[in-house]
Structure 1
């Protein structure tokens, strides 16, 4: 019985053990199954995450892989005036120009198995991963040269899983499309060597003033080790750390059997300070070349024009400027220097708030000769005051009133116009600058003295006799485009009559050269790094008859004669015509800021010779109480005329050249010219009158500002 009981208990224990074992096995299987599923899920998540990061990676473009080659800008004579390198020091080198030991030093230091592994070096990668677990993410890197090229071309130095995934993906792409030698060459040209130096060739020049082939082994080792932490190993700041880094690289070169022990020891005994170029802290600064600031306004214009060519469609400015292009321009560097010097240092300013913009174009071709975007202008600001639009005052009377009348109705320069003390158009009252009427006046005197009422009557007559859009079409022909209707206020410089000095310089050049309009253009041609030449076209068209342009030119020469609005600012020995412009404020502004009655907002001088056409605008960046930031009185309103006279008297040839009189014009006197074959029955022989009909004793105090009875801004002159 006892034996039977023992047997029964034994069987029970046996079954219980088996059941327990089965449970353990099931649990293990479940755990393994869970781990497998978890691994698969995590793997899928990892794959999807990698795919997502790869999808979000920057575009893989060839242009970003190429090391930047700064653009060079040349003047009209082909002389280099600026290299646009943002202060960086770069030189390109082909791999076959790099000495064997220089290559060996880089490979031993950065990626000894570069030619043996793929985009990633998994042997180094797994070792780095193990160290990252103990030291934290990013504590140990395993980047190959390929990965470093990718990072410098497309990514940032941020340490994140996303960046690493994108780096791996783009590195794979890079190795699929480029050879190892091509990637190595990219690396050697992209790597940073401190002090704004990029590329091993530039580094050799900067630190040792040597070609790569002339570096000794110690210098090669230093340059190979410097990029790991460039500022820390910069020999100028940390000479001991630099020597130590050199020795480390030499040790690695021997360790990887790339040099002998003897070579290592000899190089370690060679100081890298032996041939080091001594540089002051000022010489080491990474900044734009300030020695060419006088060209900055022009370079700003070049940049704006550069991208207008279809050859660069879809590219950005930085990409083009780093592609090694050579840009040949119309700049006359002597004229450019003169203009910017006078703008910076002239005595035509009331205070620091006063602003100025000026442009000079070649009268014959329209090529932009010089431009100033403002006082002490630097090409780091968004605004260029020579290309910004400003209210024009009376500057446009030749294009909205008298030019269209001569062009369409064959008016003579002594065509009679009845001036009045006040004149209403569309319910608004307009007056002359002197608040007086001058009776019957010639077109010649009305324009050169800048009377408002005759200009409005001329504009009205042209619309009635030549068509409602005749003034607008004439203005559009010289690049002064209006979208809507032109009203009386626009004729006198109202809100829609806002144009830049560059536009006005081009418009007046059409008067100077016989009626041919050429829009201001800075670029003649661009030569790409591969030698391909891209030519730049510009707008060129017949804008007016040669009779119209000549008659306008002769009338505007009278601006410098007695009673003219620029009297006293003529240039000895130079035939020059001009139109001034002065703009007033609205009545509310005068009241709000307590401005004097003779306070002006904008002042202009637009002058031209057979050689140059120059436009100057002056204004203020804000209105201040009492006229502090206004041009108060005639003398201050002459400021742009002084600048014009100063510059043009310096740059203009004294060759006696005059505007060419065409056969289509009859008459020998400026105030009695007519279109050949056409009679003008409405002419006058009345002598010119001074301001308010006064004698010549006050003829040098003319101003061409205007206002209506309410000082409405719509009637700015």
Structure 2
């Protein structure tokens, strides 16, 4: 046995302590070197990208949020200064109160978590800082492994080395998951409280700050009682962290919370058909990829007016019955600019996704007649031009059998009527005769100038009664030149697109094109105003087709209805608003008794949408003149005429003779001027010219017209 002297023992002990000290220094050196190496390595790496999928937001004309495009992650990135102090304080208190004192790793929390996990023989408790959680959200999965933890620590260090604390906290609060598809505090504030993050109260912020620990547990939509309990914990930690006082905690704890309705976060989108058209515009016209639309954080400013959209839906669904197969489409727009204000793609659009407003082609019926009569005005006819309304068979070259159009309810005046009356009561015979007078190709050429591109069967006279199919939006938009003084406009859905950096990707610059004669469009509009004037009724045929809804209006308004066996239409306008509605079946079948309902839909919408708006006159020109005529005779009205109607004419074409049919009897019995032809003779002369022009055979019955 070795015996050591006290001196030798002290020397040996001193050597051991020296070796221990050297080992400690070596360990410290190695550790510091390793840390320095890791820090140097992390610093030399490029700054990790902070880019995350961000929701594309759609805004209305009034900059209200109307919808979002995202791929399952509803996220709105906002700067930290727009979040409000309440959510920042609550989050720091419950998640990482030493956030401003560490460099991404909090060794106090890590040590405590390691001890707790060793005791539990699991990894149930985490010591992650906000920076680590942010790193995990950006770059890693949520598996509880040592490898993932090491990568998380490295990413956290990189974030701390390359970004400020404010950048990290801003990123965290914009990416953390709050449940129900809401990523980030702005989306969460909207989902749970229908407000912006900066408007959250302390009580609301405390509740939201408690959700990320377990969105499926602490969401008030899942378990409100548990969510409130968690809120109380957050408020207590805010007191401990010095963000609020005990008195304030008690005040916030007692504050009543008003949550959004449980189903609001999954509510039906506003104007889904309109939003789908916007999406198609972004991809097809602007060539923006679906990936960017879903996650690029775009701001899409649209033309939609949510108030008008609601009025359109109310008007339509109040008239559409319970029949499941019955469908409808509706479009409202500003005829001056083409901006679409409201759109309905179907009675249950969200189920099928077929937008009848933009995809369906249907027979327009009599809504095609204003284009026919515009062409007639161009070719010299006038509002008071007269043709005979009678049952007529038309024989024309190439036809195997006569074309025999009918009026509604098979009623005819069997006398002459003016073009003004013919449009008002929708006389089909007058329209077909006009079509023959103009030539079969004239109508097609005319509608092209109004913007209708759908093909037309010009070889068949039925085209003048709307037998060739057109798109719903196509024909509604084609009425714009009547309302705006002859300008053709393109339907517009998007006014501006801005990317997440604030750069403008697109800004609308639609210039209307003067395509039509403003004097003639003014005359046509004046004629279409007659559709709503009961005084233009034609004895023996019908009342003006819009007279049933004329009581809705006390302002200048014009339009035209249309009915086919399978379709019901109403299109009309004021100078600032144009709208149209179609009702029918996807698989065409006979439509019974819907004409009145269709007009009611349109009239109710126009009345409600224009309530409180300025009553604007329709545009006119110096080339037109207004004179009072008797619509029955087409001549200047006298005080003895039962009906007098102010009517526009191109200057120089207005009537100059006064109506003599209604003057007092003694005047009528005065000697007749032999040089003055009777009105009946003039009518007969006009009909003779018509027959001569189209090759009529005087030996055939009067109601048969032969065209070579």
Cα offset, 1:640, TM superposition:
1.2
Q: What is the CA–CA distance in structure 1 between the aligned matches of 2:144 and 2:132, rounded to whole Å?
A: 13
Q: Which residue of 1 aligns with 2:431?
A: 455
Q: Which residue of 2 aligns with 1:10?
A: none
Q: Which residue of 2 aligns with 1:702?
A: none
Segment of structure 1 superposing worse, 471-480 or 563-572: 563-572
Correspondence for 2:545 among 565, 572, 579: 565
Q: Which residue of 1 aligns with 2:363?
A: 392
Cα offset, 1:337, TM superposition:
4.0
Q: Contact 2:60 / 2:304 at 8 angstroms: preserved in 1?
A: no
Q: What is the CA–CA distance in structure 1 between the aligned matches of 2:351 and 2:250, rounded to whole Å?
A: 38
Q: Contact 2:300 / 2:494 at 8 angstroms: preserved in 1?
A: no
Q: Which residue of 2 aligns with 1:287?
A: 265
**Alpha carbons of 1:428 and 1:607: their partners in 2 closer, same or farther (altered >3 Å)?**
farther
Correspondence for 2:478 among 502, 507, 529: 507
Matched residue SS, 2:60: strand
Cα offset, 1:189, TM superposition:
1.8
**Alpha carbons of 1:398 and 1:186: their partners in 2 closer, same or farther (altered >3 Å)?**
same
Q: How does 1:257-656 map to 2 (within 5 A)?
A: 275=253, 278-279=256-257, 283=261, 285=263, 287-288=265-266, 310=286, 316-319=292-295, 322-323=297-298, 325=299, 327=301, 329=303, 331=305, 333=307, 335-346=308-319, 349=321, 351-375=323-347, 382-398=353-369, 401-407=372-378, 409-415=379-385, 420-423=392-395, 426-427=398-399, 430-434=403-407, 442-452=418-428, 454-459=430-435, 461-463=437-439, 468=441, 470-482=442-454, 486-488=458-460, 489-494=462-467, 496-500=468-472, 502-525=473-496, 535-538=507-510, 540-560=512-532, 561-562=536-537, 563=542, 564-571=544-551, 573-584=554-565, 601-621=566-586, 630-632=590-592, 635-650=593-608, 651=610
Q: What is the CA–CA distance in structure 2 between the aligned matches of 1:507 and 1:399, rounded to whole Å?
A: 10
**Alpha carbons of 1:621 and 1:310: their partners in 2 closer, same or farther (altered >3 Å)?**
closer
**Alpha carbons of 1:388 and 1:116: their partners in 2 closer, same or farther (altered >3 Å)?**
same
Q: How many residue pairs end up in the alignment?
A: 560
Q: What is the CA–CA distance in structure 2 between the aligned matches of 1:486 and 1:306, rounded to whole Å?
A: 36
Q: Which residue of 2 aligns with 1:35?
A: none
Deviations 1:203-260 (CA, angstroms, capped at 9, x unpaired):
79979999899979xx98x97775243323558343698499879x98xx9xxxxx9x
Cα offset, 1:338, TM superposition:
3.4
Q: Contact 1:234 / 1:242 at 8 angstroms: preserved in 2?
A: no
Q: What is the CA–CA distance in structure 2 between the aligned matches of 1:636 and 1:339, rounded to whole Å?
A: 17
Q: Contact 2:305 / 2:342 at 8 angstroms: preserved in 1?
A: yes
**Alpha carbons of 1:398 and 1:141: their partners in 2 closer, same or farther (altered >3 Å)?**
farther
Q: Does 1:227 align with 2:212?
A: yes
Q: Does 1:94 align with 2:80?
A: yes
Q: Contact 2:300 / 2:497 at 8 angstroms: preserved in 1?
A: yes
Q: What is the CA–CA distance in structure 2 between the aligned matches of 1:652 and 1:210, rounded to whole Å?
A: 35
In structure 2, the gaps of 5 or more residues are: 1-47, 636-647, 656-680, 686-708
Q: What is the CA–CA distance in structure 2 between the aligned matches of 1:657 and 1:181, rounded to whole Å?
A: 54
Highest RCO, 1 vs 2 (Cα 8 Å, sep ≥ 6):
1
Cα offset, 1:604, TM superposition:
0.5
**Alpha carbons of 1:685 and 1:73: their partners in 2 closer, same or farther (altered >3 Å)?**
same
Cα offset, 1:427, TM superposition:
2.8
Q: What is the CA–CA distance in structure 1 between the aligned matches of 2:200 and 2:476, rounded to whole Å?
A: 54
Q: Which residue of 2 aligns with 1:238?
A: 226
Cα offset, 1:173, TM superposition:
11
Q: Contact 1:93 / 1:201 at 8 angstroms: preserved in 2?
A: no
Q: Does 1:188 align with 2:188?
A: no
Q: Which residue of 2 aligns with 1:700?
A: none
Matched residue SS, 1:403: helix
**Alpha carbons of 1:311 and 1:277: their partners in 2 closer, same or farther (altered >3 Å)?**
farther
Q: What is the CA–CA distance in structure 1 between the aligned matches of 2:621 and 2:316, rounded to whole Å?
A: 37
Deviations 1:533-589 (CA, angstroms, capped at 9, x unpaired):
6632235111311232123223323334313333433245333332221122xxxxx
Q: What is the CA–CA distance in structure 2 between the aligned matches of 1:487 and 1:165, rounded to whole Å?
A: 79
Deviations 1:519-541 (CA, angstroms, capped at 9, x unpaired):
34355556666666663223511
Cα offset, 1:511, TM superposition:
1.1
Q: Contact 1:575 / 1:656 at 8 angstroms: preserved in 2?
A: yes
Structural RMSD (CA) = 5.9
Cα offset, 1:69, TM superposition:
7.7
Deviations 1:17-67 (CA, angstroms, capped at 9, x unpaired):
xxxxxxxxxxxxxxxxxxxxxxxxxxxxxxxxxxxxxxxxxxx9876355x
Matched residue SS, 1:615: strand
Q: What is the CA–CA distance in structure 2 between the aligned matches of 1:156 and 1:424, rounded to whole Å?
A: 77
Q: What is the CA–CA distance in structure 1 between the aligned matches of 2:373 and 2:151, rounded to whole Å?
A: 66
Deviations 1:389-418 (CA, angstroms, capped at 9, x unpaired):
3413324533653323333x2333344557
**Alpha carbons of 1:574 and 1:349: their partners in 2 closer, same or farther (altered >3 Å)?**
farther
Matched residue SS, 2:329: strand
Q: What is the CA–CA distance in structure 1 between the aligned matches of 2:650 and 2:196, rounded to whole Å?
A: 70
Q: What is the CA–CA distance in structure 1 between the aligned matches of 2:530 and 2:571, rounded to whole Å?
A: 14
**Alpha carbons of 1:424 and 1:155: their partners in 2 closer, same or farther (altered >3 Å)?**
farther
Q: What is the CA–CA distance in structure 1 between the aligned matches of 2:426 and 2:228, rounded to whole Å?
A: 75
Scaled by the length of structure 1, the TM-score of the pair is 0.59
Q: Which residue of 2 aligns with 1:40?
A: none
Q: What is the CA–CA distance in structure 2 between the aligned matches of 1:370 and 1:174, rounded to whole Å?
A: 47
Matched residue SS, 1:287: helix
Deviations 1:414-459 (CA, angstroms, capped at 9, x unpaired):
4455762355574365332335775766444444443445534544
**Alpha carbons of 1:184 and 1:541: their partners in 2 closer, same or farther (altered >3 Å)?**
same
Q: Contact 1:299 / 1:379 at 8 angstroms: preserved in 2?
A: no
**Alpha carbons of 1:141 and 1:111: their partners in 2 closer, same or farther (altered >3 Å)?**
farther
In structure 1, the gaps of 5 or more residues are: 1-59, 118-122, 254-258, 585-600, 624-628, 688-717
Scaled by the length of structure 2, the TM-score of the pair is 0.60
Cα offset, 1:646, TM superposition:
3.1
